[in-house]
Each structure stands twice: as structure tokens, then as C-alpha cells.
Amino acid sequence: MIKPIIWQKTKLKILDQRRIPLAVDYIICSTCREVAECIGNLSVRGAPAIGSAAAFGLVLGAQELKGFPKEGFNHAFREKASNMLQARPTAVNLSWAVERMLRKYESIKEKDLGELTGGLEEEALTIYKEDIVGNKKIGQIGSSLIPEGAQILTHCNAGALATAGYGTALGVVRWAVGQGKEIHVYVDETRPVLQGARLTAWEMKQEEIPYTLITDNMAGMLMQKGKIDLVIVGADRIAQNGDTANKIGTYSLAVLAKYHDIPFYVAAPSSTFDLTLTSGEEIPIEERDPREVTHVFEQRITPEGCSVFNPSFDVTPAGLISAIITEKGIIENPQKENILSVMQIN
């Protein structure tokens, strides 16, 4: 199984996803700042993978403070945590993981540095391992929604690369394939960063899962021709009412799916829910460098100075989502009561 991050006690190895499939190289991070940079520049991307990487980044952050005067330690560590939070705004898994690490830190901050970093490392490893276990559960639960012979459309990359391992949306596909179901995956290329063409296609190829790459603007035509049985995507942040932020273009697919009466599923772990937000309108949407749109692999494809709008995510209203698949169960007709009940929060 592909490992997007590998923890090595004093280093975090990050698979450089910007280079896949042309090269499979790891970046070695030994500081918290280097991890935050890898999150910001998309070397590591995908909501759960960002959360796990950030957690290990904070372990490195604590290790970096070896020899730091006790009085200043607390401030310096919290500053690293707050810098980490700035790395990317939309995927809530980042703040979820950082806050979890800070709670752990708070509970052991009086201990000596060895015990403190050991405790933080344990917490980061737990976040990492829980994500893999959760993804497999999502796969197992979600595969009940995948009929034999299904033709599935997916967007962006919500696979092993986007998580600690196994994947959410692609975890469901993996599980169903493992059950012997014959499945065909249509992979949206996912402009502008091409996570579908570069990453999902690569994952499908590695595992010999039959797939066909399409450009984003072909999805409607395929649906119209009866070639898509269901759509399944991941998520970056899900509000209390089920509104879901995911890679730009997801909303358009959900509208198309509704029009063609095709089930539209979101697969996400509970760490992707932000129950502090009443609706998707409150989800911060990252806008990225216009060069992602004006250039393809460093080659400019537009007139110089071309004006660009480059939101990295959009919000799909809950009403367009048939169900959200989580490790705790399937949330049919996602809305507040149903979400809280599956999340076991009253």
C-alpha cells in the first residue's frame, strides 16, 4: 500500500505528490516548518493526510525545542502549532489534529522533554493509525452501496495518497474490488492541479483497478449516456447540516448527478466533520496561486497577465448528497439530526 507519509522518530518522510506519477520521491522533513511547507505546497495533500502530517510536524516542533528554556517552551511550542494551522484553511482535519495534539501537550506539559516528546509522538501515531483503521471501516461499510458491475465516477484524489493509508472514497472502491465486484472507475482529471489524472489514475493503475480518465467537462455527457451508476468523492470539511466542502468541481458533479438521478456519495471520517459550523457558507475556501491555472507544468498556457479566479474547493449543499459514508455508519439524507445521531452526539 502506498505510504504518503512515513514517520521515522526524528524525521517525517513525505511522498512528494507534486511529482507523481513522473517520480516517486520522498522529502525528508526534520522541522515543524518544513512539514507546514509541504502541506502548503501540496507535497502532502488530502484532508486526512494533512491532519496526520501536521500531528507529526508538531512532534518535530517539540523535538526542535530541546535545550529551550522552560519558561519560553510553552509559548514557542504554541507558536509552532499556530503556524501549522496557517498551512491550509479548508480541510478541518488540520485544525482537528493540531487541537488534539495541543490537548495532549496540555496534559503532559510539566513532564521532562523526553517524556513530553514521547507522549506527543504516541498521540501522532494514534491519529495516524486511527485514520487507516477508520478508512478500512469506511470501505467496508460503503461497499454495501456499490452494486456489482458499477461504473463509478470520482473526482480529485480521495485515496491512499490523501490519507494515512487506504483512502476514503477510493477505500470504498478498494473494498468492493476486494469483495470480487467488477467495477469500473471513471477518473475526473481535476483541473487545475490534476489530482485525478496524476494521483487517482496512478493509484488505480498500481492496484490494477479498471479505470478510464476523463476531463472534468466530460462527466455530464457520460451521465447522459447512462455510463455512470454512482458518484463517490471525499470531503475536506462537512458542516453540521451536511453541506460538504471538497475539491473544486465537486458541486457541479453533484448538480449533474441530481439531474440524472444518479446517487451522489461522500466518504469521510468523523475527523472531517466540523460540527461548530451550522452550514457550508461558513467554511473557509482556500484560493490558490493563479499559476495553477495559467501554467501546466511550468509552461504558460494563457496570455500573459491573464486574470484568474482559483478557488481550490467548493461546497456541495447537503440536499444534493444521497449519503455520507463514515467509519461510524452511513448517514442517509444528511442533515443535522441524522449526522448527530450517527456521530452519537445528542
Separation CA 254–CA 45 (nearest Å): 23
Q: Which CB atom, from 104 or from 155, has the smaller least distance to ligand MRU?
A: 155
Q: Could you tell me if 93 and 272 are in contact, meaning their C-beta atoms sit under 8 angstroms apart? A: yes
Per the annotation, the verdict on 216 as an active-site residue is no
Residue 297, Ramachandran bin (φ over 0: left; ψ between -120 and 50: alpha; else beta): left
Q: Which CB atom, from 63 or from 163, has the smaller least distance to ligand MRU?
A: 163
Coil vs helix vs strand at 121: helix
Residues 241-260 within binding reach of ligand MRU (CB under 6 A): 246-247
Place of cell 488540520: 94
- Binding segment (CB under 6 A) for ligand MRU, from list 6-14, 51-59, 161-169, 220-228: 161-169
Active-site hit among 131, 236, 274, 314: 236
**What Cα–Cα distance (Å) separates residue 114 from each residue in 35, 53, 104, 119, 156?**
21, 21, 15, 9, 40
Q: Tell me the closest approach of the beta carbon of residue 168 to ligand MRU, in angstroms.
A: 4
Separation CA 37–CA 86 (nearest Å): 10
Q: Tell me the closest approach of the beta carbon of residue 333 to ligand MRU, in angstroms.
A: 22
* C-alpha cell of residue 53: 502530517
| Contacting residue, 4, 36, 46, 320, with ligand MRU by CB under 6 A | 46
Q: Tell me the closest approach of the beta carbon of residue 190 to ligand MRU, in angstroms.
A: 8
* Maximal C-alpha separation, the chain: 67
Pairing of strands 237-239, 273-274: parallel
Alpha helices in the chain (DSSP H): 32-40, 47-64, 70-85, 92-108, 113-142, 169-178, 201-206, 219-224, 250-259, 291-294, 336-342
- Binding segment (CB under 6 A) for ligand MRU, from list 102-110, 155-163, 173-181, 328-336: 155-163
- Our finding on whether 312 is near ligand MRU (CB under 6 A) is yes
Handedness of CA 141, 327, 187, 23 (dihedral sign): negative
Q: Which CB atom, from 123 or from 236, has the smaller least distance to ligand MRU?
A: 236
Q: Tell me the closest approach of the beta carbon of residue 195 to ligand MRU, in angstroms.
A: 5
- What is the full DSSP assignment across 37-55? HHHHTTSS-SHHHHHHHHH
| Contacting residue, 60, 156, 204, 331, with ligand MRU by CB under 6 A | 156
Q: Tell me the closest approach of the beta carbon of residue 17 to ligand MRU, in angstroms.
A: 8
Q: Tell me the closest approach of the beta carbon of residue 243 to ligand MRU, in angstroms.
A: 15
- Binding segment (CB under 6 A) for ligand MRU, from list 99-107, 160-168, 301-309, 338-346: 160-168
Residues 191-230 within binding reach of ligand MRU (CB under 6 A): 195
**What Cα–Cα distance (Å) separates residue 69 from each residue in 63, 115, 118, 165?**
13, 16, 19, 38
Q: Which CB atom, from 47 or from 120, has the smaller least distance to ligand MRU?
A: 47
Pairing of strands 230-233, 264-267: parallel
| Contacting residue, 163, 200, 244, 326, with ligand MRU by CB under 6 A | 163
Residue 180, Ramachandran bin (φ over 0: left; ψ between -120 and 50: alpha; else beta): left
Q: Which CB atom, from 119 or from 269, has the smaller least distance to ligand MRU?
A: 269
- Our finding on whether 91 is near ligand MRU (CB under 6 A) is yes
Q: Tell me the closest approach of the beta carbon of residue 161 to ligand MRU, in angstroms.
A: 9
- Our finding on whether 237 is near ligand MRU (CB under 6 A) is no
Active site residues per annotation? 236
Residues at the site binding ligand MRU, with contacts judged by CB under 6 A = 45-48, 91, 156, 158, 162-163, 168, 195, 233-236, 246-247, 312
